[in-house]
Structure 1
Amino acid sequence: MSKYLPFSHDNQLALLYLGENYFTALVDAIDNATHDVALETYIFEADEAGENVSAALRRAAERGVKVRVITDGVGTSRRLPYIEAWHGSGVMHRVYNPHLFGKFGFSRTHRKIAVVDHEVAFVGGINIIDDYNGGGGLRMDDPRWDFAVQCRGPVVAEIVMAFHIQWLRLAPGYLGTPFRHRRRGQRARLHAPYAGQAAFVARDNLHNRRAVEKAYLMALGRARHEVWLANPYFVPGRRLRRALTQAARRGVAVHLLIGRKEFRLLDTAVPWLYAKLLDAGVRIGEYDMRQLHGKVAVVDDVWATVGSSNLDALSLFLNHEANVVVLDDPVVIQLRDHIRAAFAQARRIDPARYGERSRWRRFRQWAAYRLYRLVMKVLTRGTYD
């Protein structure tokens, strides 16, 4: 898919902001299912959100709907209390890589997708976990900043196929993917000639190793006016960092919103990458008003992506991820407004103050980044650059 993405048009798309709105739409779709429900998630938590979704899955299975669920072996507890009830009601459940290191290596399924009756699908960054659940029994004061897109139309078929392939991979006795899904792509122009253009971009370790990264690179390479990019873990490889700096140097207003206060190592390592970005004119904001979990971007008010892929080594080079790319749709402007509002609340990185930081601080940032890079080089078998 070097120059092309599998765009289809005449899709009906809706942006879902925060888990509360996502879960309402998801449960409603499952409750109206008549044939098939498929759900894949990294985290399925035993809390109010998890109970509501689990109950909807059971209700669907009990009325004869084919229900399949994929959870990750690390992201979701193997002691999840719903599993026995799922089996009793007919919900089929498979686990991706049940152990930290398994037959799929160290990779995780980090995707958050759901499809109902091959008619409506959901793609985004929202796990099956309550908006205020901070993990470890902690309750957050504010909901996670996150998004999903509800899709109807031709793009749903691509999402169905991605789930189907993943389901086959997890079948007992799996030895290898028996086929490669070949998709007809359209050139990734930033101005779409049709309404409701959308493309589903799935990353795996077989045939689509750099799919998400390439989608970003194509959009950034064609950017002419403005970029808004928000991500909780910003440690991309050299190609993506270079694309951001090149865009800024040719006059594009590049805004980078980065999450903070979730992992101490990343909080220390990520600022080491600011120097070249700031020199090129990239505007950086660190956001810690609440947990920034959205993995989203908007380019020139016509291109947008929403999905599960962080801009770090694990998401770009190891884990299974899923994003949707949207062109010339109201979703793009809605998403831009959300990112812009969050950026206005963020702490701006001043280039002068950044350059004056102490030698000790510079050393800590350098050491943290080098440690992160070394570990990721090992885990990704050298593909992280």
Structure 2
Amino acid sequence: MKDGWSVFYITKNAWEEMLRDINNAQSSIYFEQYLFNDLEKGEIGKIFLEALINKAKEGVKVKLLIDSVGSTDFFFSSETVNLEEHGIDLRFHALSRKNILSNIFPNLYRDHRKVLVIDEKIGYIGGVVIGQKMEHWRDTQVRIENDFVPLLKNSFDAIWNSLEKTSARPHQYMNRHLNENAEGFLGNCPREKDKALRKEILSKISRSRKRVWITTPYFVPSRKMVRVIKKAARRNVDVR
């Protein structure tokens, strides 16, 4: 670990560390996931749920925020009742219950984040999901144990609170979670006109001087992104 940051590149390795921290939780667990499936005995989803239930039984506050499209099996399973019976606070970023065809575009606005905050002291963020077939995938997950964790908790709270039934604008939430040095996390929401994350990436590439290395499973760049990347390469930035 360097300055409170640890990086995992294989999903299984990240799971093991996440479960270790969950099992050691003393006060709170806040877990946000896009894909959380495989809930049969011995499968990874069930293993995580059992760990969360055990902590809830010990009096640890557990909040679980799941996307209903990425986690369809979970959404329609009996586990939802089981978790709530054990005192786990569960919310889904759900499908519109109206005509699915007429509401297809609103239903594309998903919660694709993967966030875990434990005791407000340890945080995880990255691409790792909870699905058995991803066990040996090359992915990136960062474990955080420093002053950035409260900012990550604020980010979780913003999404959680946006799903309140009384929320007038449930898809609008704070994009920036920064400390006094303007360091922190940037969120993004498809319904927001202010694409903070996209703007920040474009800005960083535009001002790059040494290198731009990109690793992503989703690379469908806009014309503006292509122009910015080409300009960086032309000024001898190492673009990969």
TM-score range for the pair, normalised by the shorter chain length: 0.7 to 0.9
Q: What is the CA deviation profile of residues 205-245 of structure 1, one whole-angstrom value per residue up to 9, with x for unaligned ones?
A: 57683222223223212322332212212112222211111
**1:191-202 mapped onto 2 (5 Å cutoff):** 199-202=184-187
Q: Which of these residues, 14, 27, 41, is aligned with residue 22 of structure 1?
A: 14
Structure 1: unaligned runs, 5 residues or longer: 1-9, 134-142, 188-197, 256-385
The corresponding residue for 1:155 is 148
Letter in 1 for 2:169: G
2:88 & 2:78 partners in 1: Cα distance?
A: 14
- What runs of 5+ residues in structure 2 fail to find an aligned partner? none
- Over alpha carbons, which structure has the higher Rg? 1
Secondary structure of 2:227's aligned partner: helix
2:92 match = 95
Matched, 1:83 2:80: yes
Match of 1:302 in 2: none
Say how many residue pairs are matched. 227
Match of 1:266 in 2: none
Which of 153, 159, 181 in structure 2 is aligned with 1:166?
159
Equivalent residues in 2 for 1:286-301, closer than 5 Å: none
Contact 1:122 1:150 in 2 (8 A): yes
1:33 aligns with 2:25: yes
Report the 3-state secondary structure (helix = DSSP H, G, I; strand = E; otherwise coil) of the residue aligned with 1:93.
Answer: strand
Residues 132 and 106 of structure 1: is their aligned pair in 2 closer, same or farther, counting only changes over 3 Å? closer
Q: Are the aligned partners of 2:151 and 2:177 in contact in 1 as well (CA < 8 Å)?
A: no
Partner of 2:64: 69
Identity of aligned residues (%): 26
Give the match for residue 115 of structure 2: 113
TM-score by length of 2: 0.84
**Alpha carbons 1:217, 1:240 under 8 Å: kept:** yes
Counterpart position of 1:53? 48
Alpha-carbon distance between aligned partners in 1 of 2:193 and 2:47, rounded to the nearest angstrom: 33
CA RMSD of aligned residues (A): 2.6
Q: What amino acid maps onto 1:238 in structure 2?
A: R
- The letter of the residue matching 1:234 is F
Residues 155 and 177, structure 2, Cα contact 8 Å, conserved in 1: no
Residues 169 and 116 of structure 1: is their aligned pair in 2 closer, same or farther, counting only changes over 3 Å? Answer: same
Distance of 2:196 and 2:202 partners within structure 1: 10
Aligned to 2:212: 227
Give the TM-score of the pair, scaled to structure 1. 0.54
